[in-house]
Amino acid sequence: MRTLAVPLRLALAGRFGLRTMTFARVEGSEDTTRKFLFKLHDGRFVETVLIPASPALYGERSDRHTLCVSTQVGCAYGCKFCASGLEGWKRNLGVEDIVEQAVAVERWNSAQSKVQGRAGPGEATRSGRRRGEPASPSHSIAGSARCVPAARCR
């Protein structure tokens, strides 16, 4: 954005945030599922999970992943078998929060691939981690699907 005048950049930075969350923790081993804990701008946390596909046909590492993104903070349903609702529902995530999870994990995975000297994984399927009612929040889920039509976790 260096092509924009400094006053305009400052005005835009004051009105719009480009990053709404930060990595709080990454768990899991290199060859298994990775769980990302993100801290949101309001101090609450959500999880995103990157799941590697089964090995490819001849046992080599697969280039496919499933990415599960959170769509809500907490859960309003309070099912007895699930820990997600222990603190109750806080809020739905916006389109920008959902998309940022996918972009952040893609960037992280791409950087890890380069550090380890391997080709990064290719296509990723997406899955919304909709706690409680599967369609909540439908507007954010639909909006994020339009923004990230072909998510790739490289």
Q: How much is the average pLDDT of 1-7? A: 84
Closest by CA position to 61, among listed 30, 34, 28, 106: 30
Torsion angles phi and psi, residue 150, rounded to 5: -140, 70
pLDDT of the residue at 38: 94
pLDDT of the residue at 137: 60
Token pair of 101 as six digits = 């999870």
Domains of the chain: 21-147 (3.20.20.70)
Distances (CA, A) of 85 to 54, 73, 77, 143, 153: 31, 9, 7, 25, 29
Higher per-residue pLDDT: 153 or 80? 80
The model's pLDDT over 72-125, given as tens digits with 9 standing for 90+, comes to: 888 877 777 777 777 788 988 888 888 899 889 988 988 887 776 655 555 555
- pTM equals 0.69
Q: How much is the average pLDDT of 142-146? A: 63
Higher per-residue pLDDT: 152 or 32? 32
Closest by CA position to 52, among listed 70, 73, 31: 31
pLDDT of the residue at 51: 86
Distances (CA, A) of 153 to 62, 109, 112, 119: 12, 6, 11, 11
Higher per-residue pLDDT: 113 or 23? 23
pLDDT of the residue at 117: 63
pLDDT of the residue at 78: 75
